Structure 1
Amino acid sequence: MIKRLLSGLIVMVAVNSQARQLQEPPTQVIYRFDDHRYLELKGWDCEGELWYIDTQRGIRSEPVSQFYRIFTKKFVHPSERYITITGWGAGGFMASKDYGKTWQLVQFSPGENEPNGDNHAPYDDIISFTVVNNQGFLQTKHSLYMSSKPFDDPRVVTGGPGIPYTASDGSVGRLEPGSAGEAWGMVYMTKRALVNSIHQFKSNYQNMPDAVPKVINYTGWDHMRCDMDAGK
């Protein structure tokens, strides 16, 4: 009897799997930034391809080609030029600095930023992710991670004069164009990590805030949404 039941279950799973292979995966809107910008997820069980659409600018791009799972914490994103998207684990971001046309992988700063010794927070410790005025802010229970202000220091771009500096230990050096660390918006760091980083000498890291800036009159969603039963 048990063997018959197991055989029946195996047949049902196989049939369902074959049916899915023949059926186009469902597509659903999982986040709206405003009335003309949104994210689409194409896949079964809320996992799959992630697409960014801007109907006003005529942009349709693919930040993540497969296995994307939604970020379930608070997500507020009025920024338009600089767009940053994270997923379930929040271990890194995909970012666009050209209104969503192209995407690059963004990382956290090195260093032990969290009590557990990691450079980024466990998912359960994340409170919110906000992207406003072309700058991103990930708030956790213990730290505030943020990207730089939305420009590159002109002294370290191609043809710039470089930046001479004196570190806190008295050592002197110079940041040269092409070897001064990541471009603007491409690394998220805490103010605690900044004091041990060469980024501290660049103008786009000066006077960084201590809290997430307030967002006023935002019309988009404040969380991603996904229907696990879509297409079934």
Structure 2
Amino acid sequence: MNGMKLLTGLLLIAAANTVQAKKVPTQVVYRFDDHRYLELKGWNCEGELWYIDTKRGVRSNPVGQFYRIFTRKLVHPSERYIALTGWSAGGFRVSKDYGQTWSTAMFSPGPNEPDEMNQPPSEDVISFTVVNDQGFLLTKKSLYMSSRGFDDPRILPGGPGITFTAPDGTLDTIKPRSPGWSWGMVYMTKRGLADATNQYRTEWMNLPDNVPEVKNYQGWDHMRCDMDAGK
């Protein structure tokens, strides 16, 4: 009987050690500054993505599973507006409240690319910069941008709306009850903007032709991940 108890105890210890050895690894994959960073929980650099801001006490989960890190240049000093993209750069998870809540942003429909596709091939992406509450995705052929960080007051509730002359010469109006995308929720090129009603909204006017220069950035310029973590 004592021998059986000993064997059972050894088996339990071995099982506990196996479970402990296979604990899902968590690693910091990006640092924005000294108090904000991203954690990835998962094997082989794929899994849950967490956003942490130790100064504001924020811990949130932008991507619940299957996140793979963005491998191109990433510069992100913006704090209120946080925008994240992944390995294929096929869309964005964005927060407009310092990382507390998250939504999905997308590429605008329409001819953003020279071949009239609405988004770039993944292999064309060069860098992603988020500064002053605005995102800039640079590719080999184009520069995709979100709007500046506010909504045109004319299309907010109670506003007069925006009346404009359509390409066919008729008058049209963007009305507050159906204003379209709010700020920061869609990415497009100037080529695509030329065919969109967003061009009449002040947050989309006078956009730059190049990625803004970022000086004295304190964060990482690339995401990092150890494929062997936890093994």
* TM-score, normalising length: structure 2: 0.90
| Cα distance, 1:145 vs structure 2 | 0.3
Q: Which amino acid aligns with 2:120?
A: A
Paired residues of 1:181 and 1:198 also in contact (CA < 8 A): no
Q: Does 1:99 align with 2:73?
A: no
Q: Which amino acid aligns with 2:146?
A: S
| TM alignment of 1:177-192, pairs within 5 A | 177-192=176-191
In structure 2, the partner of 1:121 is 120
Q: Which amino acid aligns with 2:177?
A: G
| Cα distance, 1:168 vs structure 2 | 2.9
| TM alignment of 1:124-163, pairs within 5 A | 124-163=123-162
Paired residues of 2:111 and 2:191 also in contact (CA < 8 A): no
Cα separation, 1, equivalents of 2:64 and 2:23: 16
In structure 2, the partner of 1:8 is none
In structure 1, the partner of 2:38 is 39
In structure 1, the partner of 2:227 is 228
Q: Which amino acid aligns with 1:208?
A: L
Label 1:127 to 1:143 Cα distance change in 2 as closer, same or farther (>3 A).
same
Cα separation, 1, equivalents of 2:78 and 2:123: 25
**Runs in 1 of length 4+ with deviation above 3 angstroms?**
19-22
| Cα distance, 1:111 vs structure 2 | 1.6
Paired residues of 2:113 and 2:191 also in contact (CA < 8 A): no
Deviations 1:36-62 (A, max 9, x none): 000000000000000000000000000
CA RMSD across the alignment: 1.4
Q: Does 1:199 align with 2:170?
A: no
Cα separation, 2, equivalents of 1:191 and 1:116: 14
Cα separation, 1, equivalents of 2:19 and 2:230: 10
| Cα distance, 1:117 vs structure 2 | 4.4
Q: Which amino acid aligns with 2:126?
A: I
* Structure 1 portions without partners, runs of 5+: 1-18
In structure 1, the partner of 2:4 is none
Cα separation, 1, equivalents of 2:81 and 2:90: 19
Cα separation, 2, equivalents of 1:53 and 1:202: 33
Paired residues of 1:157 and 1:177 also in contact (CA < 8 A): yes
Q: Does 1:55 align with 2:54?
A: yes
Paired residues of 1:44 and 1:230 also in contact (CA < 8 A): yes
In structure 2, the partner of 1:81 is 80
| Cα distance, 1:114 vs structure 2 | 2.5
Paired residues of 1:180 and 1:199 also in contact (CA < 8 A): no
In structure 1, the partner of 2:172 is 173
Deviations 1:180-217 (A, max 9, x none): 21000000011111111110111111101111000000
Is the partner of 1:56 in helix, strand or coil? coil
Q: Which amino acid aligns with 2:101?
A: T
In structure 2, the partner of 1:3 is none
Cα separation, 1, equivalents of 2:44 and 2:119: 27
* TM-score, normalising length: structure 1: 0.89
* Structure 2 portions without partners, runs of 5+: 1-17
In structure 2, the partner of 1:4 is none
Cα separation, 2, equivalents of 1:23 and 1:158: 53
| Cα distance, 1:22 vs structure 2 | 7.9
Cα separation, 2, equivalents of 1:112 and 1:198: 14
Is the partner of 2:157 in helix, strand or coil? coil
